[in-house]
Chains A and B, each alone.
Chain A
């Protein structure tokens, strides 16, 4: 059912499948190479399950030296490589290629070093996001970025996608919490970036690698900063009669100088779906539900809860409930955190979109989305990170009905185009992958995309690492490197000199 074209597989590589598997077995002995279709089945898709493809062969290295040898071998033989963490990507970033080696990083699962005085944790990339927090929780610390997939997703995948979570308004995304990484380039070279110290001695390669979706290098070690857990956290539920009122409340909270730990919103369909599923006690007679969490020192949280409540009432909140206990706070979050499975219960399938918009556009975008919903004849439920304008429209469809998936994809594309048109972006945290690849032209012109690909050429001149992702058109590096002579087309021959 896939509607996206991937690069045509190279027949010569497919013919050499057994030989390639044997070469990889020489590098990773034992169970480390998987090549039968049955055993490769679990790797055929990621969180974007509408797309499936068995890889050429799966390799599961255990050491950085093995990763280096695998990449060097593939580079020399021009074989594409797709890195994979836990396979929870929602944009198809880890979708295998028919003629590509799937490099699974799951065996890199050790916590290497925890340094409390310097507040850092160094782990292998296959360690899950939540496992980092678990490793430091006994001392009262945690790792701040908390994607909803945190029990499953790997920190290597987080680095590759620059993942965020409900707390990133206050605590930042992966990129703001990352101190160092070790990467292996496609050539097999091992490069260390950063460490336990701050900032780079040269170009900010760490910043470039974060969010590069497995296209620039394979992450083999990660050092993050850990934070002392806040003294306390309390949440408030606010219901609003209109999404405009909810949006205005979010703006007013920030205008008052308050940056909450989390500020999440749901629209009516999402409220109803999650309440039916979780019985979190959400009000059903409101158009928008806002969860505001304030965390920090007790004295501050108590004070700010009062402030936020006053603001919300002024903005017309028709429902206010402040958590009175830790259990109640957890209950408030239960519905929000279960939004995806809850929606999964009311429809056979759903597509999760991920645009970001300037916050003030929220009512406008929601209204336009309702129009589109009618046009396409498909329901949409919205959950969003309201504080930073990151929307997750969930488009409900039935994959068994002919044409519905294609309609859902078209609806999704229209939503993302709308996000860009109002000043936002295609993806806030899920990545471009294959899903938004062909929409890149909505945000960037040829010149922009070519400059991005030139960066790719500095890392992987043969385009072998995760090809077919992120960029709609792959230009050869030689072509990208060619210089234009501008003579005769100078717009201002009379540039002033002083």
Chain B
């Protein structure tokens, strides 16, 4: 085995700039990571030298009354969440923690990683993903140049929105140094209605009706019996569970719960879980708890909500799997035990092409590197993506190969 050099650990932005310039001059690629919680996602980076960014940490300013926080890019998520919680605020996109899927400790990860992966949990469907909450960035491009984009205010159309362009780029375009995010008030009260025993189609249909009601629901997930057993707080459950979450001021939540009850109609078997129990439930939805600490391939599939169950039904003909739905049916999490050599990629992507959307192979330990982790793009879009990569990183210094 080739011995890998120890990671570079820049102490500050100047160090990082130096590291990337040196690499650019020598045309030696670098692998960038923060805490490394998502290193298992995407393709192995074709670089021997890694750069651990975790020292670029710390809050630059946090102004609760202006609902804005600005931080060095590798500030731990846990630190940010604690700070915001003390002011009854939060990052509203409900960033998922990928640690559990990879058998890693819960609660680690950095804010830079959250943006690089464009995280977005169950509330994504109402409040958006990391891309919708970032206000401004400073970063070092693969050319070894510092640049900034955006600002610290919510309304801003000055120049191209590079903050969005870099969200979900998995460190392949630039290394973030500073990030400014919008924050929002944390809901005073959380409540979840759990309806038992619906099949996939009926469950998702109910979720879509709830989304189309004025009840302002902020979480909509459906678990068939096989995965529902992993959910906390619902006892010895062997039935499918359909979850609808309401958040906000307590008076408002209770009022809306009444309205939702009416929408669900009489004769359904249901319970309401409040506060801690409700929050725990959604953490399990967010972090793909039914598949935590396993090793089998896991897929994350984004499609139109009503297409979720039809896609799943069609896929059954080709592979055996366990699954559940978030985002009102539009996000399908799939785990494939006894997976075929390609982890089900060809079956999943062929089936999905009938419905539209994209499929990401999130957990792929031991799967052949030729299996595309990210959804392949049509030729004209793929060519545009390559040109965008060159615009930031013409020598492919940063995380080469990570996105395939």
Q: Mark A115-127, 1 if CB is under 8 A from B, else 0.
A: 1111110000000
A302 to chain B, nearest CB (A): 9
Q: Which residue of A lies closest to B304 (CB)?
A: A196
B169→A197 contact, CB < 8 A: no
Known: A204-B165, A228-B214, A448-B147. A427 touches B157 (CB 8 A): yes
Q: Closest 9 interchain pairs by CB?
A: A207-B164, A299-B255, A300-B252, A257-B185, A201-B358, A428-B155, A201-B375, A196-B304, A458-B387
Q: Is A426 an interface residue (CB 8 A)?
A: yes
CA of A192 to CA of B132, assembled, Å: 21
C-alpha spacing A118/B7, complex, angstroms: 46
In the assembled complex, the Cα of A299 lies from the Cα of B385 at a distance in Å of 48
CA distance A123 to B306 in the complex (A): 20
- 15 CB contacts below 8 A, A to B, read A120-B304, A141-B212, A189-B380, A190-B380, A205-B165, A210-B161, A212-B161, A257-B249, A356-B153, A389-B154, A451-B147, A455-B160, A458-B390, A491-B18, A497-B8
CB distance A447 to B146 under 8 Å? yes
Known: A117-B212, A389-B155. A483 touches B302 (CB 8 A): no
Q: Are B129 and A199 in contact (CB under 8 A)?
A: yes
Please report B residues at the A interface, Cβ cutoff 8 Å. Answer: 5-11, 14-15, 17-19, 21-22, 24-25, 63-68, 88, 118, 120, 124-125, 128-129, 131-132, 141, 143-149, 151-162, 164-169, 173, 184-186, 188, 205, 208, 211-216, 248-249, 251-252, 254-256, 259, 302-307, 327, 330-331, 356-358, 360, 374-375, 377-378, 380-381, 384-385, 387-388, 390-392, 394-395, 403
Q: How far is the CB of B172 from chain A (nearest CB, A)?
A: 8
Cβ-neighbour of B153 out of A120, A357, A483 (below 8 A): A357
Q: How far is the CB of A491 from chain B (nearest CB, A)?
A: 5
Whether, in the assembled complex, A331 has its beta carbon less than 8 Å from a beta carbon of chain B, the answer is no
Q: Which of B15, B25, B165, B252 contacts A203 (CB 8 A)?
A: B165
On whether A497 and B162 interact (CB within 8 A), knowing A297-B252, A424-B151, A483-B394, the answer reads: no
Q: Which of A117, A141, A195, A300 sits near B357, CB closer than 8 Å?
A: A195
Instruction: Using known A-B contacts A198-B302, A203-B168, A230-B214, determine if residue A459 contacts B157 with beta carbons closer than 8 Å.
Output: no
Measured CA separation A92–B152 after assembly (Å): 25
Question: Cβ of A191: which chain B residues have Cβ within 8 Å of it?
Answer: 380-381, 384
Which residues does chain B contribute within 8 Å of A303, judged by CB atoms? Answer: 249, 251-252
* Chain A: CB-nearest residue to B64: A255
Residues of B within 8 A of A255 (CB): 64-65
When distances are taken between beta carbons in the complex, the residues of chain A under 8 Å from B17 are 491
Partner-binding segment picked from A18-26, A51-59, A77-85, A436-444: A436-444
Whether B155 and A197, one on each chain, are in contact in the complex, defined by CB atoms closer than 8 angstroms, is: no
- A156 at interface, CB cutoff 8 A: no
User: Which residues does chain A contribute within 8 Å of B147, judged by CB atoms?
Assistant: 447-448, 450-451
**A195 and B9 contacting across the interface, CB-CB below 8 Å:** no
Chain A CB count within 10 A is highest, among B15, B66, B384, for B384
In Å, the complex CA distance between A356 and B13 comes to 28
Contacts of A283-324 to chain B: CB distance below 8 A: 296-300, 303-304
Contact A297 B216 (CB under 8 A): yes
* A162-B161, A296-B252, A497-B9 known; A425 vs B374 contact (CB < 8 Å): no
* A175 contacts B by Cβ under 8 Å: yes
Tell me whether A389 and B159 are in contact (CB under 8 A).
no
Residue numbers in B under 8 Å from A296 (CB-CB): 214, 216, 252
Whether B158 contacts A436 by the Cβ 8 Å rule is yes
Beta-carbon contact of B165 and A455 below 8 Å:
yes
B residues less than 8 Å from A120 (CB atoms): 304
B248 nearest CB neighbor, chain A only: A300
A169 proximity list for chain B (CB < 8 A): 154
The secondary structure that dominates the A interface is loop
The answer to whether A425 touches B151 (Cβ under 8 A) is: yes
Q: Chain A, 454-490, contact with B by CB distance < 8 Å: what is the 0/1 string?
A: 1111110000000000100000000001011111001
Contacts of A498 in B (CB 8 A): 6-7, 9
A298-B255 in contact (CB<8A): yes
Chain A residues in 8 Å Cβ range of B146: 447
A-chain residues with CB within 8 Å of residue B157 when the two chains form the complex? 161-162, 211, 427-432
- Inter-chain contacts of B149 with A (CB < 8 A): 448, 451-452
B327 contact set on A, CB distance < 8 A:
198
Number of A interface residues in the complex (CB < 8 A): 107
CB distance from A442 to the nearest CB of B (A): 9
How far apart are A207's CB and chain B's nearest CB, in angstroms?
3
Contacts of B11 in A (CB 8 A): 496
Q: A164 contacts which chain B residues (CB < 8 A)?
A: 155
Residues of A within 8 A of B387 (CB): 457-459
CB pair A231–B214 under 8 Å, yes or no, is yes
Q: Indicate if A385 sits at the interface (CB-CB under 8 A).
A: yes
Measured CB to CB, the closest approach of chain B to A335, in angstroms, equals 22
CB distance from B96 to the nearest CB of A (A): 13
Q: Which residues of A contact B374 (CB under 8 A)?
A: 201-202
Using Cβ atoms and an 8 Å threshold, which residues of chain B touch A67?
none
- Write out, one digit per residue, whether chain A residues 221-234 have a CB within 8 A of any chain B CB (1) or not (0): 00000001111000
Please report the C-alpha to C-alpha distance between residue A452 and residue B157 in the assembled complex, in whole angstroms.
Answer: 13
Please determine whether B212 and A116 come into contact, CB atoms closer than 8 angstroms: yes
Distance between Cα atoms of A210 and B155 in the complex (Å)? 13
Please state if A208 and B148 are interface contacts (CB–CB under 8 Å). no
Q: A205-B384, A457-B391 are in contact. Are A485 and B168 (CB under 8 A)?
A: no
Pick from A201, A208, A259, A425: contact of B377, CB below 8 A.
A201
For residue A258, CB closer than 8 A to chain B, the reply is yes
Assess whether A118 is in contact with B208, with CB atoms less than 8 Å apart: yes
Cα A327 to Cα B167 in complex, Å, equals 44
| Distance, CA A486 to CA B19, complexed state (A) | 11
* Complex contact B185–A197 (CB within 8 A): no
Complexed CA–CA distance, A483 and B307 (Å): 47
Least Cβ–Cβ distance between A186 and chain B, in angstroms: 12
Whether A427 contacts B158 by the Cβ 8 Å rule is yes
User: Across the interface, which residues of A come within 8 angstroms of B215, CB to CB?
Assistant: 297
Q: Is the CB of B160 within 8 A of A212?
A: yes
Assuming A197-B356, A207-B165, A388-B155, what are 11 further A-B pairs, CB within 8 angstroms? A197-B304, A198-B302, A200-B168, A204-B165, A427-B157, A451-B149, A452-B159, A452-B162, A455-B162, A492-B15, A495-B18
